[in-house]
Amino acid sequence: MDQITDAKTFWRALGSRAIGVAVVTASGSSGPAGFLALSATHLTANPPTMLVSIGQSTSALAPILESKHFAINYIGKSREDLAKEFGGQGTRKGADRFLPGEWNTLKTGAPALIGAVGVLDCELEEAIERHGTTIAIGRIVAFTQAPDVQPLISFAGKYI
């Protein structure tokens, strides 16, 4: 049995869960912003509410708090490039990751990926700070689904 003694071990332990890869986006006064979300999940069905954990140093945090919205974009298997770009492993940064023709918006104005497995468009209801993280709680106000798109899955530190 291993014990969690540091952040690296924590992330290794969480690697035992398979999750759909999601990019969380917002559109602030300085343009679109986004990050690879490792913690995005439902909170309640009534009202339809999502929860996203955002590190305090994440550049997309300020646009989310400013605009009071975010979209959770579940990306398809063919878009591992986006996971790398929004996860900080790519060559593009900031708004340069939002290529023309790949994004539109739903109700809130947050960038929504065209061809995503699904997009959950949320209005920010509350932001709670804990341990260097902001927990953003948002009510789903619009969504899209593409059931024929195969999801990109993260498992044990790899994409499958």
Phi and psi for 104 in degrees, rounded to 5?
A: -135, -160
Total number of domains in the chain: 1
**Residue 75 lies inside a defined structural domain of this protein:** yes
- Whether 126 is covered by a domain: the verdict is yes
The verdict on residue 93 lying in a domain is yes
| pLDDT 10s digits, 66-119 | 999 999 999 999 999 999 999 999 899 999 999 999 999 999 999 999 999 999
pLDDT (average), residues 16-22 = 88
Q: What pLDDT score was predicted for residue 17?
A: 77
pLDDT, position 63: 98
Q: Name the more confident of 123 and 156.
A: 123
- The CATH number of whichever domain residue 112 belongs to comes to 2.30.110.10
In a domain, 140, yes or no: yes
Q: How far is 152 from 87, CA to CA, in rounded Å?
A: 14
Q: 140 has which bridge partners? A: 122
Which of the two residues, 150 and 8, has the higher pLDDT score? Answer: 150
The burial of 52, by beta-carbon neighbours within 10 Å (0-12 exposed, 13-18 middle, 19 or more buried), is given as buried
Q: Is residue 12 part of a domain?
A: no
In a domain, 4, yes or no: no
Judge whether 142 lies within some domain.
yes
Q: What is the DSSP letter of 91?
A: S
Taking residues 119-125, what's their average pLDDT? 98
The answer to whether the pTM exceeds 0.75 is yes
Please determine, for residue 15, whether its predicted confidence score (pLDDT) is greater than 90.
no
**Could you list the residue range(s) of the whole structural domain that residue 38 is in?**
17-150
pLDDT digits (tens, 9 = 90+) for 32-71: 999 999 899 999 999 999 999 999 999 999 999 999 999 9
Give the C-alpha separation, 120 to 136, whole Å.
Answer: 14
Question: Is 1 a member of any domain?
Answer: no
